[in-house]
A = this chain, B = another copy of it.
Amino acid sequence: MKKTNRQLQKEQTREALLEKAFEVFAQRGIMNTRMSDIAQAAGVSHGTVFAHFRTQEVLITEVIETYGRKIALRTHELADSCEHMEEVLAAHLAGIMEFEPFYTRLVIENRLLPLAARDVWVSVQSAISFHFSQVAERERQRGRGIDIPTHLLFNMWVGLVHYYLANSDLFAPEGHVIKRYGKTLIDNYSKLIQRSPEEK
């Protein structure tokens, strides 16, 4: 019982660190955040961070893993019951929106992250693409689809969304890109891909 208490406390500190790191990363950027920033944000000493995460790389990777999983999970939840493409897209954006500042950082720093972290990030993308592909396939069978490979359709969509996020400072200096452009993006992208096939 006592043991459980201590473990709980440690677990709490760990969670607090992950959470604060998540917040600080979202705010200041991932690679620009010093270990001491996180310690400070979590109200613990410098050394404590290292007691929980052996190196900076480990911390970064775990934060991305943790919240990447959350994002993927949430997207699953939201997208699971979707019938039509519009719904999937909306679910995707809704999932992102809940973590927008952090997700945006991932988009921005993507290639500069430690390799392990990048791997995690890639797996998050895969999770998202799953639902997209499924619905795309279904629509295709219904004859509503178009003759463009699904993965390319997905890349177009993600490319579009990431483009807006990557340039969030231009598109939405106040920071809410999805809120401001989400509907537009969905509408236009849908319109583009869902027109009935060309007719002679």
**Residues of A participating in the B interface, judged by any CB pair closer than 8 Å:** 29, 31-32, 108-112, 122, 146-149, 152, 155-156, 158-164, 166-167, 169-170, 184-185, 188-189, 191-193, 195-199
Contact = CB atoms under 8 A, between A and B. Distances in A.
28 contacts: A31-B112, A32-B112, A109-B112, A110-B166, A111-B166, A111-B167, A111-B169, A112-B112, A147-B191, A148-B188, A148-B192, A149-B188, A155-B160, A156-B156, A156-B159, A156-B188, A156-B189, A156-B192, A159-B159, A159-B160, A159-B162, A159-B163, A159-B164, A160-B160, A162-B163, A192-B192, A195-B195, A199-B199
A64 to B, nearest CB: 16
Nearest first, the 10 A-B pairs at minimum CB distance are A159-B163, A159-B159, A159-B160, A108-B111, A195-B198, A148-B188, A152-B188, A156-B160, A155-B163, A192-B192
A10 to B, nearest CB: 13
